[in-house]
Amino acid sequence: MLPTPKKVTVVAGSGEGDHKLTAFDNALLAAGIGNLNLIKVSSILPPECELVERLDIPPGSLTPTAYGALASDVKGDRIAAAVAVGFSDRDYGTIMEFSGHCTREEAEQKVRAMVEEAFRRRGMALRDVRVAAAEMVVGDRPGAVVAAAVLWY
């Protein structure tokens, strides 16, 4: 099987670019994950996965990541992305991500509430939640936000 990640790092960022995809690239760079090959996963914190504050992954690495992202080229658009990682006492956890046209606080609230619901649904006790979020108002150039739980080794 594919190796199960052992570490999790929670990041967020925003960026602008000449195109929506380069704005996304710049948001990833701002979040510290712009030089990785993100593989989108949905969205479980593996058991015994350790929270690590600082990423240390070589460029180009295939990196399983649960993330929410949004890009816009509409001037004045307020966009936000948030991710929440819920840690249990002794088992796996859950990760929830969100992006939308809202404030950072609203996005944070949403992912927190979703993690709480996912834990309730599983009958598990929520020991801790770690959240990262980003918000921006799009200016003259396209903008993007991203919030990510990076799973690594």
Task: Tell me the two tokens of residue 48.
Answer: 């015994």
Q: Which is nearer to a second copy, 59 or 76 (CB)?
A: 59
Q: What is residue 94's three-state secondary structure?
A: strand
Burial 60-88 (b: 16+ CB within 10 A, else e): eeebbbbbbbbbbeeeebbbbbbbbbbbb
Residue 153 in the binding site for a second copy (CB under 8 A): yes
Among 13, 14, 17, 82, binds a second copy (CB under 8 A): 17
Alpha carbon 141 to its chain's center: 23
Q: Which is nearer to a second copy, 47 or 137 (CB)?
A: 47
CA-to-CA dists, residue 125 to 45, 113, 121, 142, 148, angstroms? 14, 14, 10, 41, 23
Question: Is 42 a known active-site residue?
Answer: yes
To a second copy, the closest distance from the beta carbon of 67 in angstroms equals 9
Distance CA 63, CA 47 (A): 18
Binding mask 74-103 for a second copy (x = CB under 8 A): -----------------xx-x-xxx-----
The active-site residue, picked from 14, 26, 97, 135, is: 97
Residues in contact with a second copy by the rule CB under 8 A = 1-5, 17-19, 21-22, 24-26, 28-29, 35-47, 49, 57-64, 66, 91-92, 94, 96-98, 110, 113-114, 117-118, 121-122, 151-153
